[in-house]
Amino acid sequence: MSLRRPYRRSMAGWWRKNPYFVEYMIHEGTALCVAAYALILLAGLLALARGEAAWDQWLTLLRSTPSLLLHGLLLLGFLYHSWTWFHIMPRTLPPIRLGGERLSAATISNAGLIAALLASVLVWGLAMRLAS
Amino acid sequence: MSQVKVKPRTIRIEVLRYRPEQEQAPVLQAFEVPFTDDMSVLQGLQYIKDELDGTLSYRWSCRMAICGSCGMMINGVPKLACSIFLRDLYPGTLRIEALAHFPIERDLVVVMDDFMTKLSLIKPYIIPKEVRTLSQGEYLQTPQQLARYEQLSSCINCLLCYAACPQFGLNSDFIGPAAMALVQRYKLDSRDAGSAQRMPLVYAEEGVFNCTAVGYCSEVCPKDVDPANAVNINKTESAKDYFLRFLQPKGAQA
Amino acid sequence: MKRSNAPIFWLLFGAGGMLSALIGAALVWITGFAAPLGIGLPSEAASYANVLALLQAWPIKLAVLLVISLFLWHSAHRIFHTLHDLGIHAGMLARLLCYGAALVGTAVCMVVLGQFV
């Protein structure tokens, strides 16, 4: 007759017990910002489809303080998403060797951030061209 | 000449005790442990067992961070007890608990059976392309070929990565970081040709897609194996296999 | 052991994550501030006539669809896994709600964009 009785501990509140996990939940949480923004764009498309009056209403809404505050938060969310995405990226890639040496995680992350900067400039440039 | 006796510093160590025959659930027990600057947490435990409470149970062996036996939660972080100095945790209370995400057998001893099963499932040995005879001699490997998998072969099976992995904690069916690091170790070894046999474990529902890239496993690994990388590289491999399997001759499994 | 079907959703998650990491912030700036408020862009940029004309072009339609769709697939995957992390294991229901929303969003987007011709 075995006297063994292995004890299984609960996982409740696991992420609150370690700052590493708190940060993990925050960067996972940026998905809410991505979702919110996609839905905002979709709402804009629907307003456009309903005609000029609906679109003008949408523009007024976009110009309102609550909307500006929301977009401010979304902007911060997206920036944090970019930062953490490229921070994690090296972990997901096989070793990249350049001239015999393996590229460091920092190099790969920085390359990603620079790519984001360039892409953002391109998008802004495109927006200016399309707007004129 | 009179000797000035210096009172040794003591650190308060709280250990999560669990004796199934006498308690329903684990309970913290505090000890005052005198220590010198050269003592590790493991030595602190040994002092407790030798001088204060002989019933304390814990695993240990080499006391130099190579056997992987003394993994435990030290102030909530998975660490090898032999690799942390008491002086670095002083002043303040030191809380020692059994490795997270594993059932507690007794005190600081966890039930490791789940990992041992996974370890044998992944076939942790060289599976050569063809049977080799002794007369063929040894395998030859260049330093570059060795470098490809050497870091992954440093795994000491200490299970700190499993204690770090919340996905394993939430679902113990998940194959886990160390097992995946070993799968990758054999894949990158030029002597091995058994990846096809191991892949089904990788892309199974219990495989790599349970990982959400928390990355804490690689943070706590005492040997810098980087299991997070091993797991996440294989997400790409699994995805490639998922879509390209239909292009393979005779529906071959990869 | 059963093969996981996660690759489909994981690839969509990755594509959406990369796209949003590269240009998400810039897009929020443009559509949330620059265009409506006329900062760095002409004030008529966000007018009905302008935006409607813009969305006639198929490359623009495709770009808009990719942004909305991939952002939805990315967030659906991440939100589903975060629910699991928080201890909400509603299994198939959670899966249907999350990925279903992304699917519906994609479909609605396609239909609406198709109308601007």
User: Which has the minimum average pLDDT: A45-49, A80-84, A100-104, C77-81?
Assistant: A100-104
Domain boundaries, chain C: 7-21+55-115
List, in order of start, the domains of chain A with CATH numbers. Answer: 14-92 (1.20.1300.10)
Tell me the pLDDT band of B252, cut-offs 50, 70 and 90.
very low
pLDDT digit string, tens, across residues C56-114: 999 999 999 999 999 999 999 999 999 999 988 778 899 999 999 999 999 999 999 99
pLDDT digit string, tens, across residues B187-232: 999 999 999 999 999 999 999 999 999 999 999 999 999 999 999 9
Task: Give the pLDDT score at B250.
Answer: 52
- Tell me whether residues C75 and A34 touch, CB distance under 8 A: yes
- Tell me whether residues C3 and B203 touch, CB distance under 8 A: yes
Helix extents (H) in A93-131: 105-131
A-chain residues near C116 (CB < 8 A): 48-49
C89 touches chain A (CB under 8 A): no
| CA end-to-end span of chain A | 84
B94/C78 Cα distance (integer angstroms) = 36
pLDDT digit string, tens, across residues B119-162: 999 999 999 988 889 999 999 999 999 999 999 999 999 999 99
3-class state of residue A18 by DSSP: coil
Average of pLDDT values for B90-112? 96
- Chains near B (3 or more Cβ pairs under 8 Å): A, C
The partner residue sitting opposite A6, judged by closest CB among B105, B229, B233, is: B105
Beta carbons within 8 Å of C35's beta carbon, 6+ residues apart: A127, A131, C41, C45, C46
Domain C7-21+55-115: give its CATH code. Answer: 1.20.1300.10
Task: Give the pLDDT score at A97.
Answer: 86
Percent of chain B at pLDDT > 70 equals 95
Q: Is the predicted pLDDT of residue B5 greater than 70, yes or no? A: no
B249/B51 Cα distance (integer angstroms) = 68
pLDDT digit string, tens, across residues C39-58: 999 988 999 999 999 999 99
pLDDT digit string, tens, across residues A26-78: 999 999 999 999 999 999 999 999 999 999 999 999 999 999 999 999 999 99
Q: Is the predicted pLDDT of residue B4 greater than 80, yes or no? A: no
Task: Give the pLDDT score at B251.
Answer: 46
- Give ipTM to 2 decimals: 0.95
Average of pLDDT values for A5-16? 96
Q: Please report the residues numbered 90 through 109 in chain A whose beta carbons come closer than 8 angstroms to any beta carbon of chain C.
A: none
Task: Give the pLDDT score at A30.
Answer: 97
For domain B9-110, say whether CATH 1.25.40.10 is its number. Answer: no
Average pLDDT in chain C:
94
C83 touches chain A (CB under 8 A): no
Residue in the block written with tokens 């099976």: B157
Task: Give the pLDDT score at B254.
Answer: 44
B-chain residues near C85 (CB < 8 A): 166, 170, 212
Average of pLDDT values for B36-44? 96
The partner residue sitting opposite C45, judged by closest CB among A56, A75, A131, is: A131
Domain boundaries, chain B: 9-110, 113-251
Considering only residues B246 and B163, tell me which one the structure prediction assigns the higher pLDDT.
Answer: B163
Tell me the pLDDT band of B1, cut-offs 50, 70 and 90.
low
CA nearest C67 in A: which residue? A38
Please, what's the b/e burial string for C45-57 (b: 16 or more CB within 10 A of its CB; e: otherwise)?
bbbbebbeebbee
Please classify residue B64 by burial: count the beta carbons closer than 10 Å to its beta carbon, then call 0-12 exposed, 13-18 middle and 19+ buried.
exposed
pTM of the entire predicted model:
0.93
Task: Give the pLDDT score at B249.
Answer: 65
Task: Give the pLDDT score at A127.
Answer: 94
Q: How far is CA B76 from the centre of its chain?
A: 16
Helix (H) or strand (E) holding B34: strand B27-35
Average of pLDDT values for A118-127? 96
For domain B113-251, say whether CATH 3.40.50.2030 is its number. Answer: no
B252/A62 Cα distance (integer angstroms) = 55
